[in-house]
Amino acid sequence: MASKLAMLAKIADFKDFTSSFTDQDDKKEPPSEKEVKAGEKEKEAQRLAEEERRKRHQKEEYQREKKREMIRQKYGIAKPSGKGKETKEQVDEVAREYGLDEDSKKQLHAKMNQDADARQVTKDKIDKKLERRKQKMDLKEKCQVQ
């Protein structure tokens, strides 16, 4: 292991040595308009890709929940209430395990609440879709009986 560290140290020294020759005359200039536009386009493309990823994941979660609902219906299983530990208890537990200070604890709690809210919004959308699907199935069933 010591030989690996020695090799890394030599490489680092070599980089410092070569950079002193190449960076003497190079001064950082502000990015040109072309570079700024390219950066904005890249950020927009990343945002769109993230949005598409979210939509895809939401669609996949809907399909999984639809399967679960069919299984629950088939076997007469009640949907779980989803009551678990409160986030404050979770934060306290994590803070004890990792030795977090009060500020880090507050940040963690805020982030957990934010993530939970985002998940709840997605769950509500999926539940609404499932409810509409159930209503349609009930309506079809009523129409077939008559």
pTM of the model: 0.58
In the chain, domain spans: 45-78
Helical packing angle, 33-75 and 102-145, nearest 10°: 50
CA atoms within 13 A on the CB side of 130: 21
pLDDT tens per residue, range 12-25: 665 555 555 555 54
List CB contacts of 116: < 8 A, sequence separation 6 or more: 87
pLDDT tens per residue, range 22-66: 555 456 788 888 888 999 999 999 999 999 999 999 999 999 999
